[in-house]
Amino acid sequence: MSLSPQRALRGHRPARLSERAAVSGAYVARLSERLTERDRWIARMLHEHRVLTTAQLAEIAFTSARAANQRLLQLHKWRLVDRFQPFLTYGSAPMHYVLDVAGAAVLAYEDGLDPRDLNYRHDRALGIAHSLHLAHTVGTNAFFTHLIAASRRPDATGRLTAWWSEARCRRHFGDIVIPDGYGRWQEGDTVLEWFLEYDLATERPDRVAAKLPRYHRLAATTGITTPILVHLPTTRREARVRHALVSALATLTDSALVPVATTSADHTDARWQPLDRLSHRRLPLHDLPTVWPHLTPPNPTQPAVPDDDSPTDLLPPPPLVPEPTPRRPHR
């Protein structure tokens, strides 16, 4: 039986590089000639934040979904990134991307490290596909990628200048509290930094509120008052959690050390309501410092949190993608 013309055109799918080939010095050297600054930045973002979906990568690094898909497919073939698609009972999930072995080797060599010292394992990177915290990690990352996308708009007046992952927060503050992320937004002369608590309604409201004494202890220990932003899935859940937060705040010796504001996914413009019994105002991110005049204005060029990473721990990448390299003029 002869093959149909369409079938004959398909051919065999080419195999990806083996792990051994992808981490060899010779392969990484050849790969460096093909990688753009954006490719390297994507690798660093995946190393820091573990997993990003196609849509998230498209909104923070590309001009269209088609451009994102084309480039990510090439990076997947080169083993800079790997990918998986979670199972959904109905419909189909987007592709999820993680750092692959060649990407880890590129980052290590760029920073003068041996790839073995990078604390990277391919099976562990892909292991998030089976993690019960996958939805939480993707949701937390979506909060920040939306801010990056807002920073990239032509009419943007502010920008996200720092984004730390939960893992980095754990390394710095894990003996007291583990935020889901740390961020900093700058708009004109106004700079706001915060810790994020991203809630998916998987625990009781009082368990969420039980974190406030830990943030109080962190502020008292470091001498730095950092607001806590609590993102919730619905306004109904937000009302219940706010009630628990107000009760927890009343038990603190100095509630001014723990400024809190909440929002929910029902508010598409992400307006925040400070935890104030007398106020029902919802404010954009850059207006929150007006509610907390006692905050110490952070240095816009330096994180107010310590930066004592070990020599084998890569620094967090800047949130915004590097500008494209200008093309050389033809002679």
- Stated pTM of the model: 0.89
Pairing relationship of beta strands 228-232 and 260-264 according to DSSP bridges: parallel
How is residue 190 written in tokens? 């106004």
Rg (C-alpha) for the chain, rounded Å, is 22
Angle at the Cα of 261 from the Cα atoms of 304 and 179, rounded to 5 degrees: 50
- For residues 201 and 195, what is the distance between their CA atoms, to the nearest angstrom? 18
- For residues 38 and 62, what is the distance between their CA atoms, to the nearest angstrom? 9
Outline where the chain has alpha helix (H): 5-10, 19-22, 25-32, 37-49, 54-61, 65-77, 101-110, 122-126, 134-152, 166-173, 205-209, 212-222, 235-250
How is residue 257 written in tokens? 């050390």
Position 115 scores a pLDDT of 85
DSSP 168: H
Residue type, 159: R
Q: Which H or E run contains 96?
A: strand 96-99
pLDDT, tens digit, 9 for 90 and up, residues 146-181: 999 999 999 999 999 999 999 999 999 999 999 999
- For residues 100 and 122, what is the distance between their CA atoms, to the nearest angstrom? 6
Which residue numbers in the chain have pLDDT < 50?
A: 1-4, 6-11, 304, 306, 330-331
Residue type, 292: W
Taking alpha carbons only, the member of 73, 191, 178, 188 closest to residue 133 is: 178
Q: Token match 């990076």: residue?
A: 75
DSSP string, 31-66: HHTT--HHHHHHHHHHHHHS-EEHHHHHHHH-SSHH
327 Cα distance to chain centroid = 30
DSSP 24: S
- Of 3.30.565.10, 2.40.420.20, 3.40.640.10, 1.10.10.10, the CATH number of 16-130 is 1.10.10.10
Position 288 scores a pLDDT of 93
Contact, 163 vs 143, CB < 8 A?
no
- Domain ranges for the chain: 16-130, 134-290
Q: Which H or E run contains 250?
A: helix 235-250
